[in-house]
Amino acid sequence: MCGIVGYIGKRDVAPLLLEGLQRLEYRGYDSAGIVIAGRSGGLKAVKAKGRVRELEARVPKRFAGTTGIAHTRWATHGAPSDENAHPHLDTEGKVAVVHNGIVDNASELRAKLEADGVVFASETDSEVITHLIARSQAVSLEEKVREALKVVEGTYGIAVMHADFPDRIVAARNGSPVVLGIGEKEMFVASDVAALISHTRQVVTLDDGEMATLKADDFRTYTTSGTRTTATPETVEWEAASYDMGGHDTYMHKEICEQPEAVDRVLRGRIDDKFSTVHLGGLNLDAREARGIRRVKILGCGTSYHAGMIGASLIEGLARIPADSEPASEFRYRNPVVDPDTLYIAVSQSGETYDVLAAVQELKRKGARVLGVVNVVGSAIARETDGGVYVHAGPEVCVVSTKCFTNTVVAFALLALHLGRIRDLSVADGKRIIEGLRALPEQIQEILTQEEDIRKLAADYAEAKSMMFIGRVRGYPVALEASLKLKEISYIHAEAYPASELKHGPLALIEPAMPTVAIVPDDSLLEKNRAAMEEIKARSGRILAVAHRDQEKADHTILVPKNEDELDPILMGIPLQLLAYHTALALGRDIDKPRNLAKSVTVE
Ligand code: AGP
């Protein structure tokens, strides 16, 4: 999705902004642009369809200045092109705007502006904001922006420059993240800390309805109606180095390999051996309230929805509270009955996914209690929820989620254990789960050592046009997630079904050219899973099993170490991340930036 970065200070701005744009590349984009305040006055802009390196190639040698804003665009209104790339300048070239989000009433505003003689240079919704600011008769830039935003409906994170006010950048937020980076006599603005973290770790996150004025040695924040707000900079914990590839060929590979440490981080400081439970500081849910929960509804999208499915089975199993997971995008459109005794949990790696955020807002409006299971500290969903559990996976740069999926499931295991121990889970079972959790990092490491074998298998399966993934109960979300991973990066068609559903239809697809990946844990359903493999073999289907012991019916078995039944899904997903990765690699795919996908889906 779109990215913003801006700078005001003493340094040469163009290289800083281009570096910031590169750090935002992971979000997915189709064009980029930059505008600076030239030393001799006036704004100078360059835009390019394609990658940041194409923009860089177009930036002239003499492009000097110390204030500028830049953008990576993900097309919503108008195709990817030079013209539609941001920043958008007004006809006189005095005002420049970069915008994330969607202006819902853009066509209406555009028609009015065109009737007044404004000539648009792009097909975007964003350009209306530029012209509204340019036409405002207000005296200050802040007032001009405020006036313009009064008539804009929709979501925005914007940064604005004006040739008549070269000493400042004005930013505003409504539904699209905006962070300010506070430096020594220099200030940054960005849509994501990734763009500024190599320069400062002191950040201020704007709230919806908040604006900011950045000058080189000062910043102030205020509401869109002009009332001053207090903003105390917070220190970002993530290291700038977390955004580097650290010797790996892709971010995905790095993030798969980081999982032992990531899991260690989500557990750190939370286990309470005395009471065989865990402490979750930010939950804001006391024991009495926890006992009063009658249902749990988990909401997320994509991988987070799948992590929520495993979370639901952990909560149901350990805390004995009925629980389920639903795509947030569906939930919010079916006018759900909101029950005061239900605990709602919003799951999101980025904490920005629009559908999840909108579901949270709808629930809050109806008086529900909503917790968040989120990776990005201080993100929109983290701020909007009543409390929650951070998953502490560290920044995830690859568009496809791996370590965040694993850490989210572990965070759910912690929450389930916590709720369970407040309710009816015995000390012995609490201990058993804690031991299982503690064993995870080493067991993940053990799986990672099989990478070479998995790579060989992947080279073989990469020839398939279509693949089936099956599992039962706890294994089914693992199958769903593994099939999503394969689709996302290899573009091989994949289906995921509960193994029990095979004979109700999908068995018709089975033939030698359609291999099946079967999730076969050593649990009470082992025989049932074996029977499903038997059915596939009888139709000459090839099988790759992920199991705790060799499976006779399978053509290949990837062995994973056994943990507690409840925690096995965490381990069973890991070899399948490697399988998707090496399949995509064998097919020569752009692993970190798969086609048509973006890291954070901040629009509907
Ligand atoms: C994961 O591989 C996907 N890229 C996607 O399904 C993602 O999980 C989904 O868009 C939700 O994102 P979130 O966790 O940041 O809310």
Tokens of 597: 């996908």
Across the range 231-245, mean pLDDT stands at 82
Whether residue 135 is predicted with pLDDT greater than 90 in this model: the reply is yes
Across the range 203-210, mean pLDDT stands at 93
Q: 356 in ligand 1 pocket by Cβ < 6 Å?
A: yes
Q: How confident is the model at residue 33 (pLDDT cuts 50, 70, 90)?
A: very high
Q: How confident is the model at residue 378 (pLDDT cuts 50, 70, 90)?
A: confident
Across the range 442-454, mean pLDDT stands at 98
- The one-letter code for the residue type at 382 is A
Whether residue 320 is predicted with pLDDT greater than 80 in this model: the reply is yes
Torsion angle, CA of 92/96/101/107, rounded to 10 degrees? 0
User: What are the residues facing 148 on neighbouring strands?
Assistant: none
- pLDDT tens for 474-487 read 999 999 999 999 99
Residue 535, SS3 per DSSP: helix
- The one-letter code for the residue type at 261 is E
pLDDT at residue 323, as a whole number: 98
Q: 601 in ligand 1 pocket by Cβ < 6 Å?
A: yes
Q: Indicate if 599 belongs to the active site.
A: yes
- Distance from first CA to last CA of the chain, Å, rounded? 11
State the distance from the centre of ligand 1 to the C-alpha of 600, rounded, in angstroms: 7
- pLDDT tens for 564-604 read 999 999 999 999 999 999 999 999 999 988 888 877 777 67
Say if CB 302 and CB 484 are below 8 A apart.
yes
Please return the burial class of 268, using the count of CB atoms within 10 Å of its CB with bins 0-12, 13-18 and 19+.
exposed
Average pLDDT over the chain reads 94
Whether residue 335 is predicted with pLDDT greater than 90 in this model: the reply is no
Greatest CA separation found in the chain? 79
pLDDT at residue 29, as a whole number: 84
Ligand 1 atom with the shortest distance to the CA of 599: 4
Residue ranges of alpha helices (H) inside 352-450 are 354-365, 380-384, 403-422, 427-448
Neighbours of 59 (CB within 10 A): 17
Ligand 1 atom with the shortest distance to the CA of 601: 10
Say if CB 567 and CB 433 are below 8 A apart.
yes
Asked if the bond preceding 561 is cis, omega within 30° of 0, the reply is no
Q: 407 in ligand 1 pocket by Cβ < 6 Å?
A: no
| Least confident window among 20-24, 169-173, 442-446 | 20-24
State the distance from the centre of ligand 1 to the C-alpha of 351, rounded, in angstroms: 10
Name the residue among 371, 403, 331, 420 with its Cα closest to residue 574. Answer: 403
pLDDT at residue 589, as a whole number: 95
Query: Which of these is catalytic: 47, 49, 553, 599?
Result: 599
Rounded CA separation 549/336 (Å)? 43
Q: 102 in ligand 1 pocket by Cβ < 6 Å?
A: no
Query: DSSP states of 459-495 as a string?
Result: HHHTT-SEEEEEE-TTHHHHHHHHHHHHHHHH--EEE
pLDDT at residue 26, as a whole number: 79
Taking CA atoms only, the protein residue closest to ligand 1 atom 11 is: 301
- Where b means 16+ CB within 10 Å and e means fewer, 156-188 reads bbbbbbbbebbebbbbbbbbbbbbbbbbeebbb
Pocket test for ligand 1, best of 350, 354, 604 (most atoms within 8 A of CB): 350
Q: How confident is the model at residue 12 (pLDDT cuts 50, 70, 90)?
A: very high
Q: What is the pTM of this model?
A: 0.83
Q: 402 in ligand 1 pocket by Cβ < 6 Å?
A: no
Pocket test for ligand 1, best of 400, 401, 596 (most atoms within 8 A of CB): 401
Residues 6+ apart with CB under 8 A from 282: 387, 388, 389, 390
Residues 6+ apart with CB under 8 A from 445: 260
Distance, CA of 560 to chain centre: 28
Q: How confident is the model at residue 164 (pLDDT cuts 50, 70, 90)?
A: very high
pLDDT at residue 240, as a whole number: 73
